[in-house]
Amino acid sequence: MTATPPPPGDLDAIQDPFALFAQWFEHARAHEPNDPDAMALATVDADGLPDVRTVLCRGMGPEGLVFYTNHESAKGRQLTAHPRAAGLFHWKSLRRQARFRGGVSPVDAATSDAYFRARPRLSQIGAWASEQSRPLDARATLEARVEEFSHRFGEAPVPRPPHWGGFRLVPDEIELWADGAFRLHDRVRFTRSGDGWTRRRLYP
């Protein structure tokens, strides 16, 4: 059964965009059937061509949104060269979305280490085995690399690869959208202003 989201009037009741987003996210975690933490992440390449893919948001709060990746992957190289990005959460069954735009910076090594240690062991091995975004001649090659690194680390703890870690998207702009009947949606944009936010309602 599809969960009924709270009425969109809460867009007027809460002035802090992260406080409101936190409420929406917790509701999505309770009711969205698939990957409520999935975030479409948009970057640009060296030619200015947009690139987008889905990542999992593994940390959120007033300091920003955190996700992890191979820094030598396409998105990792793009973010290093052009450290600005946009993120989108679309909770289809709840008829809501949240958009974020702003600067991106690497998280500190201790934060990346802690998250890496919490991952399943095979995911840790995969971070070493996968040359993410690079050409792969055959699936068997990847499987052989997984075996290679599994043998290398044996039963010992798997260290975090030096090329793998987190990024934090620190938004300058947040837009929250709630579905409305007859496409009369509820839409509010928050723009960073000093230590606070300027709030503006938008036509749908």
Residues catalogued as catalytic = 183
d(CA 66, CA 122): 22
Which residue reads 């798997």 in tokens? Answer: 158
Q: Strand runs (DSSP E) across the chain, as ranges? A: 38-44, 50-56, 59-61, 64-70, 84-91, 96-106, 164-178, 186-193, 196-201
Q: Is residue 21 helix, strand or coil?
A: helix
Q: Which residues pair with 39 in a beta bridge?
A: 55
What residues contact 163, with CB distance under 8 A and at least 6 apart? 70, 71, 72, 76
CA distance 32 to 37: 10
Query: Alpha-carbon distance 167 to 102, whole Å?
Result: 12
- Name the residue with tokens 């987190």: 166
